[in-house]
Amino acid sequence: MGGRAVSAARPTLFGDAVSGRAVLVVGLGRSGMAAADGLLECDARVVVVDDADTEANREKAQILRTLGAEVRLGPGSTAELPAGTELVITSPGLRPATPILAAAAAAGVPIWSEVELAWQLSAAPLPAPERTPWLGVTGTNGKTTTVQMLASMLTAAGNRVALVGNVGRPVMEAVLDTDTRYDVYVVELSSFQLHSSHSLQLHSAAVLNLAPDHLEWHASLEEYARDKASIFERVTHSCVYNVQDPATEQMVEQADVTEGARAIGFTLGAPGMSMLGVVDDLLVDRAFIEQRKTSALELARLDDVQPNAPHNIANALAAAALARSYGVPATAVRDGLNSLRLDGHRIETVATADGVTWVDDSKATNPHAAATSMQAFDPIVWIAGGQAKGTSFDELVPAVAERLRGAVLLGVDREQIREALHRHAPDVPVIVVDNAETEAMVEAVAAAAELARPGDTVLLAPGCASLDMFSSYGARGDAFADAVRQRLDAAAADGNE
């Protein structure tokens, strides 16, 4: 959290939207804590509720009570909407049908995300030239990689960058950071956050792709798509879409943008005018140059993108489009890609032994992400399963069936994937791990080793969320890597006897 002193380098928070109002913060996670802190600084009357009476929440509650908030923890704390509530700040994990949110909606009480609150408090009251620009990224897959690429490109150009939003650090933390004046915010936005964000006006925004996901949260795929598309509303400079995904272009066409905003495409093929794309192993720009009708500007080489699987090249092009919309020179795109070290569990090679490559893509938490990952390898022993989140594998399996040496399934929705394999790839060998404990990954790796042949890739691309068995997709990836290394170490020791 930033200090209470206000830097002379930037304006104070403008609290007209919340000053003196009774504001309910639902959820005391990181975004809820940041929201409550910002609201208190703006002299709101704050009540915070969370059903989880954990040690961590009790520590946060003590801080907030000292600052003047009322905090209610424990089962039943979120059962009813407190009387007199004038505004609700919701946790992104709470579905709109959650009783306390449904009650607020029925009573006509506005419901904001923490992102919306940050925009309202720090951006809306300022004249346009003084606002810190926001560059936003959403999509079903690739968001975190893309914002990390974008932040690296912007930093290479000498900008002070706040990387915030769904990527981990709440936007309000950057807003409250009085020690730093940021030049630009890079904001990863989930459909959950966008659902309760109503007035954002981003400098530029990108929708990377659209595929079924989080259908246990959204009422329908159409609602999920509408929430994603809302990122383009009121954009002032560039709306970036995926040429290979027509749904994203339709979002731009239907968006109510600021006059003068442009549509910018990215493609893995040769780019048309107002696009970025690939020519002769080069990433090139035909959107942000004066000669775009007749020529293209080299930004980077494909080898500058690591790993340079097709979907990651698409991420790099989207990031470059946003960076170029902000005025970043071509050299900073290349330098940003070269200096970047992505977070783990994204098509990360764990080991290669006896001709078999073991790859961790635990971040592939939905079928679209898994299918995209699998396009980079052939043949594959596929390790999959977890929480399917209401999605189907009936499109994925036919698309990758010819690549599959075999499949190993684990997790709560493993039978759903097995049934899809039976329907669409009945000749693919399938091993089902019925163990529901975290040790099941050891069994899955052993089963995959039985199926794999020299030249194969054993790919952990679960196509599912991880929380049925693991604390996060990272913990799942770590379990996979540990099991692989233990197996290979044991094999090496046996060979030396």
Annotated binding site: 139-145
Per DSSP, the residues of 113-176 read: EHHHHHHHHHTTTS-GGGSPPEEEEE-SS-HHHHHHHHHHHHHHTT--EEEEETTSS-HHHHHT
Q: Specify binding-site residues for ATP.
A: 139-145
Q: What is the largest CA-CA distance in the chain?
A: 75
Residue type, 400: V
Backbone angles phi, psi at 323, to 5 degrees: -60, -45
Q: Residues near 8 by Cβ (< 8 Å), separated by ≥ 6?
A: none
Among residues 330, 4, 381, the alpha carbon closest in space to that of 177 is found at 4
Q: Residues near 441 by Cβ (< 8 Å), separated by ≥ 6?
A: 410, 476, 479, 480, 483
Residue whose tokens read 């504001």: 23
Can you tell me the distance from the alpha carbon of 401 to that of 380, in angstroms, rounded to the nearest whole number?
Answer: 10
Tokens for 169? 């650090």
Work out whether the CA dihedral 52, 224, 361, 170 comes out positive or negative: negative
Can you tell me the distance from the alpha carbon of 361 to that of 364, in angstroms, rounded to the nearest whole number?
Answer: 6
- Between helix 221-229 and helix 246-254 the angle, nearest 10°, is 60
Can you tell me the distance from the alpha carbon of 221 to that of 289, in angstroms, rounded to the nearest whole number?
Answer: 37
Burial pattern 448-483, b for ≥16 Cβ within 10 A else e, equals: bbebbeeebbbbbbbbbbbbbbbeebbbbbbbbbeb
Q: Residues near 136 by Cβ (< 8 Å), separated by ≥ 6?
A: 165, 187, 188, 189, 200, 202, 204, 205, 206, 231
Residues 159, 51: contact at Cβ < 8 Å? Answer: no
**Which whole-number Å values give the CA distances from 437 to 299, 409, 441, in the listed order?**
47, 13, 8
Can you tell me the distance from the alpha carbon of 298 to that of 144, in angstroms, rounded to the nearest whole number?
Answer: 25
Residues 51, 77: contact at Cβ < 8 Å? Answer: yes
Q: Residues near 399 by Cβ (< 8 Å), separated by ≥ 6?
A: 371
Residues 116, 124: contact at Cβ < 8 Å? Answer: no
Can you tell me the distance from the alpha carbon of 459 to that of 480, in angstroms, rounded to the nearest whole number?
Answer: 10
